[in-house]
Every structure is written in C-alpha cells, then in structure tokens.
A and B are shown apart, each in its own frame.
Chain A
Amino acid sequence: MSGITEREAHAAALAGLSAMTPARLRSLLRRHRPEVAWAVACGEHPDRVVESWFARSPELRQRWANDARMRPPGVLADRCVQARTNVLILGTDGYPPLLAGDPEAPAVLFAAGDPTVLAGRRAAIVGTRNATEGGRRLALRLGRELADAEVRVVSGLARGIDGAAHRGVLTSQGGPPVAVVASGPDVPFPKEHTDLWRAVVERGVVFSEHPPGAPPLAAWFPLRNRILAALSEVVVVVESRQRGGSLQTARLATERQIPVLAVPGSLLNRAAEGTNRLIADGCAAVLDTLDVLVALGLETTRLDGPGPDPRPRPSAADTRILDAFDGDPLTLDQVCLRAGEPIAAVALAVGRLEAAGWLVDTGGWFEPVAHPHPATRGMTR
C-alpha cells in the first residue's frame, strides 16, 4: 500500500474525532478541503457553522481540541499505514461510486483490504446475533452458494447470522466477501471473530467509517447499517427477532429502493419473528439460494440442479418422528407429546435420525436439518 497523502491523513483525523457524526463530517468536508476542515475543527480557522456547534455544546470545542492533540493527522496516517487501510474521501477517485450517490454516504470511508472487489453483483446477508443452529447453517450455505455464483456477500461480521454468512463465503473460491463494521477496520468485534475478520480482509474488504483503532461503540452499529444497505443490491434477512438491527437494515434498504428478502421460519421460533413479519409485510420469501439469484437477475443455470439427498432415508417409523418436528426445534419431551410415542422409542428414533444427519442436537434440543446438498429447492429448516 502506498503512503497516505496529507489530504487523506487530515480526513482520517477528522473522522476520528469523538462525537463526530456523519452529518457533521459531511458538512465540514462539503465546505472545506480536509486540511482546512481540520483547522476549523481545531478552532484555528473561523467557520460560522462550527462556531454554532461549539456554541450549542461548549464541551465539544474542548473534546475536539483534546482529540486533536492525542490523534493528530500524523498519528492517524501512521495507523492507517500500519493497518494497511485505505482512506477514501467522498468526491475523490477511489471512493466507491455506488456509495457516492447515497444521500447519507459517509464523507470518509476506511477500507482494509481491496475496495475494488465491490465491482460485481452484491447481496447482503444479515440477521440476528442470537441465531438458531439451523439459521447459522442456512446463512453459511447461502454465503457459500452466493459466492459460488460470484456474488459479493455483504455482511456485518457480527455474531450469529453475519459471521456464519461470511464463513460460508470463505469456504468458496468465488465472489470475495465484503464487510461493513462499526469499529475501526483493524479492531475485530466480537473477539471470537478475529480470525474470520482477518480472512475477510485478506480475501475481500472490510469497510468502516471509523479510522483504525476506533473501539466498537453501541451508537455506531445502527449507523453502519445504512452503509451496509447502500452497498447491496438485495438484502437477505435470515433470522431476526421482532425488533433487531437486521430489521433496521431492511428498512434502510427499502428506503433506498433495494429489494429485501426474508427467510421464513417457524412461528414458534423467536429468532424468526422478525423475518416472518417482513414476509407478512410483503417481502419476498427466500426458500433457496436461487431465489436470491433470481432477485439479482442472474443466470441460474450455472448452478447444479437439485441432487439426490445423500442421507439414508429414515424408516417409516422414524419418518413419523421426523414429521412430528414440522421444522421446529423440539425437546425430547415435546417430541413424545407430538408423536404420542413412549420416550424410549422416541429417544431411539431421534438418535438414529441424528446419526443420519436429519437432526442436530444442541444441548437437549433437536433441530431438523435441511438438505445438506447445495442448491436444492424446498429448503426447510
């Protein structure tokens, strides 16, 4: 990576000021070059608008003066070089064109990895952090199959669905992963995703509107969702609760006329409440990776057709037990109640179904597993 220009260093330092909102940063950089905007923020250059901010919140002047001492452009430039992060300024070359037209585009964008991988078809996969095992597996599969079709999967590297989707992408040799995060692009969050994070930088790109070293602040997560939505051509919500960040992403996408797709789930599954609501509100349902590819208007013939299920077919008695699940995660007691069979028989059948891959055991809960073969129609969970 080449060095950081003076201009980029000042833009990065501005973005790193505390209490710097996207609106303030845009306002500053619309009216001034980054170097001048920096002087304005430090109170060394008169500016009517900034004076009005300082007047409204007197401590802002103090905080920015402190930050300017602690994190001057020189320091930020070093950090960007160290973290091998590009500084992209709105209105200059290198800034992603598809973001430039967005009304809420970040004035400064940081990119670890290769920002040019955005050129291609893009689909976001988002969902709850508290996903079911079934939801995670599905996100993994969607990620892998979309990447196989050379689609760039855009996601947030959060726990649960987000992380699973990108793990799926990394198992494919196809479309590179694109992540939009709420901390600095070199600050993995959550910690357990450190390796995943690195792999995404390696193979694709991690975008953030915060400079390297910025900690993940709760307030930044909702803001990051607008970039995530703006970068995507379709947004797929895999699992979401009644109110969750992924529903906000869906709303932001809808505001931008970007189609939102949702994966239907059981009515009993709390993690599917939000997605089922989306479908009830008119979003298209995702029953298969093909549905996402169709929404993107892509050729679908390149994917293999549905293959035979490699799992051994359960016996008639076991099929009755499997049917009793009806797609829901159940405890052994609940299976007994639904199937009306004694517990010993149910335990035996469930054990066989689990060994054959029809069920997965998550600490006493059994979840039915979809067809493990890629690209099948009628995917149930």
Chain B
Amino acid sequence: MGFVGELGLDGSVRPVAGLVPMVVALGDAVRAVVPAAGRAHACAVADRPLAVSTLAELVASLQDEAPWPEPPDPPAVVAVAPDPDLADVRGQDLARLALELSAAGGHHLFFVGPPGSGKTMLARRLPGLLPPLDHEESVAVTMIHSAAGLALPPGGLVTRPPFRAPHHGATPVSLVGGGGSSLRPGELSAAHRGVLFLDELGEFQPSVLDGMRQPLEEGVVRVARAHGSVTLPAEVLLVAATNPCPCGGGGPGACACGEAAKARYLRRLSGPLLDRFDLRVPVDRPPIDALLDDTPGESTAQVAARVAAARDLAMRRQGGLNATLSSSELDDVAPLDPAARRLLRRELERGRLSGRGLHRVRRVARTLGDLRQPDDRIGEDLVALALALRSAMNGPVGVVA
C-alpha cells in the first residue's frame, strides 16, 4: 500500500501538489491511499484507489476496526467552462487565418499590433481550435499540472489543451521549471500539448527567452540540479504578442517614437527566438465597419473541424505536423509551381526573405494548402498569403528573416 497526503494538525488528511504523478509512480501493484479530496484525480490514473479524510479513519481501516470509507460516487463528468469562441472576433481575417494555420500546422505564432487590437483575445481562442487531448496526453498533462500545484478540473483529468499566459515579469525558473529541492514544472511544461502565450514578448528578460530556445526545439525541458536532473515534456504551441513600438503606435503617422527608440525596441525582439515563429502577423484595431457588422464570423467548432482534418492529413502524409517538416521533406510534400517559385525568388532577391525564412514560408504554404485545396502543388496564391502572414516586421525598420 502507498499513502499520499498531507496531515493537518487536527488529524485531517489533505491533498498535496504532485498527487497524480505520485499515484502513477506507485504503479498497479501497489494500492494507493489518497486524501478524499484528491480521490477524483487519483481515480483517473489508478484502479480503485482508497480514500480517507482523517488519520483516524485510516488507522481504523488498517486495523480492520472499520470498513474503508465508502468510496463516493464516481466523479460526474463536469462540463468544463468552454473555451471562448472564435465567433466573438469581428473582422481580423488575417489574424483568424493565422490562428487556424497555427492550430493546423503547429506553427508558432507572433502577433504584432497596437494595444486594443485584440492580440490577447485572439490568442485565447487558439486552444479551442486544437483537438481535445487523448487519454495518454490527458494523463501526462494532468500529472504535470498536479506536480505544479495547479488547480485540476473536478472531473479528474485535464482533457482540453491548456492555455498558459505567464506575466512578462516571470523568472527563468517559473517559466522553464526547477526551483529548490522539489523540482517543479514551469509554465513551459504546464502548457504541454497546449498554448503558451507570452504577451509583451520584448518585456521578458532576455535570459528567460534564451532559456526557452532549447525546450522549444526539443519539446522537453531538462532541468539539472545538484541532486539529479529531470526531463519534463514541453511540447507547446507558442503564441507571442508585442506592440509595434514603445508607444503602441498604430497606423502610419500615429506613432510618437523616434527611429532609434523603435529600432532599439525591435532589436530586443529580433534574434534566435523570433526565428522560431513561422507566422508573424500584423494586427490592427478592426475597422469600424467590421465592428458593426452583425453577421458573426466562423465559430470555433467550424474552424476546429477543418483543423482536425488538416492535422489528420499531415499525420498520414509525413507522420508529423507541418511545422516539423525539414527542407528535404518540403521538396517532397510541398513542391512549388513555377509562379510560386518566381514569387519567392523575387522576395529573396529583394532581401526580404532569408534561406530559413523561405522554409518557414513553404511550411505555412503547405498548411494553407492542407486547409484549402489539399492537392500537392503549392501555388502562387498560397505563397503570397504565407508571405503576408509573416509581414509584421517588414518595412523601413524591419528585420530580414
């Protein structure tokens, strides 16, 4: 028998952080005894765990003086509050498309736009577009959330892709994981199989952003400490947002920043991390006509159906999402037609696209194709759209990537 719980001074037994992974670690051979309040979560990962609410109950049961407390009813499936719906977003066609692509292809997404343009609103709608977690993923995510001490859903398992939005004051440890003796998962792991949203990307400490590069690349976090090292899963869809300049700006002529201040601001963003984003989308406050338009946009359910189909297609074709395609695979699965080739050549010659940027555009074009016209060739229109979806940093003070 294995016992997990915290003993209160009044003899009550209370749940602890890390309950779920500890119960998993006990394995099937060992009967788990958990605090009653944590029973629902233990049920999700172990066969008929025993539960007690006080130490007295436990002692009585172990001495066969009383039966094990009656297990409460199996947890009713409690409806989790639904994710916010995409139909609430007015206008923003380009940004909506970017969300759909991000969900379908696993492309990291970067929004650039002035305050009030709905960057956060858009990002919150991304988890709803992702397929629900399968059982294995649910268990993994639930274990991480339990270990991190996050509130678990009353039904036991986390079944929806998580959405984590750490503040830009976050420390490297809180984001990547680690800490003292009790290595805790960070936000990167808490967002495993879900969305990690970094608002005001430029305001994060450079060391924090640097620490994220390796986990993003490998999908796991490795935390090494004096008493051992831990590997935690961290497959996240990264969504970041920033203002176009320190003042927040807006359209041309509405910005009050000097060129130098603007360049300094963008320099904080550029570099290796910025390079991870396949999609760099400019957003602006929606036009008034779009705000007053009563016809709602497509709902999350409609878009999610297309996303699921495109993900299936990609998994069947190459066994992974499009964001993971290597350049040699791209030649196989995303051949360019002559017009598309000309368009890309033009962008390369103008110095607006780097070699790496070229692959990113091709991957995004492949996902666009999977969503719109799942035939093999990538046409000019898909490439043009993919280019528009990474145009946020173009222009006189932009960066080449």
Chain A residues with CB under 8 Å of chain B are 128-135, 159, 190-192, 239, 269-272, 329, 331-334, 336-337, 343-345, 347-348, 350-351, 355, 360-365, 367
List B contacts of A130 (CB < 8 A).
253-256
Interface centre among A129, A191, A361 (most CB of B within 10 A): A361
Contact across chains for B254 and A271 when beta carbons are under 8 A apart? yes
Contact across chains for B258 and A347 when beta carbons are under 8 A apart? no
For the complex of A and B, list the 4 residue pairs with the smallest distance between their C-beta atoms, beginning with the closest. A364-B282, A271-B253, A132-B252, A362-B395
Q: Which listed residue (B94, B251, B254, B380) contacts A332, Cβ 8 A?
A: B94
List B contacts of A336 (CB < 8 A).
93
Contact across chains for A345 and B381 when beta carbons are under 8 A apart? yes
Interface membership of B378, Cβ < 8 A: no
Interface membership of B289, Cβ < 8 A: yes
Q: Which listed residue (A134, A350, A351, A363) contacts B398, Cβ 8 A?
A: A363
* Given A271-B252, A344-B381: A365 in contact with B282 (beta carbons within 8 A): yes
**Known contacts A331-B251, A334-B287, A363-B393, then 12 further A-B pairs from the complex at CB < 8 Å, ordered by chain A residue:** A132-B252, A190-B258, A329-B252, A333-B91, A333-B93, A337-B91, A343-B388, A344-B385, A348-B384, A362-B252, A364-B113, A365-B252
- A270 CB to closest chain B CB (Å) equals 5
Which residue on B lies nearest to A363, using beta carbons? B395
Contact across chains for A132 and B253 when beta carbons are under 8 A apart? yes
* Given A333-B284, A355-B350, A367-B252: A133 in contact with B385 (beta carbons within 8 A): no
List B contacts of A347 (CB < 8 A).
381, 384-385, 387-388
Which residue on B lies nearest to A269, using beta carbons? B253
Per the bound structure, the CA–CA distance linking A347 and B384 in Å amounts to 6
- A349 CB to closest chain B CB (Å) equals 8
List B contacts of A360 (CB < 8 A).
395
List A contacts of B112 (CB < 8 A).
363-364
Contact across chains for B253 and A333 when beta carbons are under 8 A apart? no
List B contacts of A131 (CB < 8 A).
253
Per the bound structure, the CA–CA distance linking A69 and B94 in Å amounts to 65
Contact across chains for B388 and A337 when beta carbons are under 8 A apart? no
Report B356-375 residues with CB < 8 Å from chain A CB: none
Which residue on A lies nearest to B280, using beta carbons? A364
* Given A337-B289, A355-B350, A364-B284: A133 in contact with B396 (beta carbons within 8 A): yes
Contact across chains for A337 and B287 when beta carbons are under 8 A apart? yes
Per the bound structure, the CA–CA distance linking A131 and B113 in Å amounts to 19
Report B103-139 residues with CB < 8 Å from chain A CB: 112-113
List B contacts of A337 (CB < 8 A).
91, 287, 289-290
Interface membership of B244, Cβ < 8 A: yes
Per the bound structure, the CA–CA distance linking A134 and B395 in Å amounts to 12
Proximity string of chain B (219-259) to chain A, C-beta cutoff 8 Å, 1 when within and 0 when not: 00000000000000000000000001000000111111011
List B contacts of A362 (CB < 8 A).
252, 394-396
Contact across chains for A361 and B380 when beta carbons are under 8 A apart? no
- B143 CB to closest chain A CB (Å) equals 41
Which residue on B lies nearest to A349, using beta carbons? B384
List B contacts of A350 (CB < 8 A).
388
Interface membership of B322, Cβ < 8 A: no
* Given A192-B258, A362-B395: A134 in contact with B252 (beta carbons within 8 A): yes
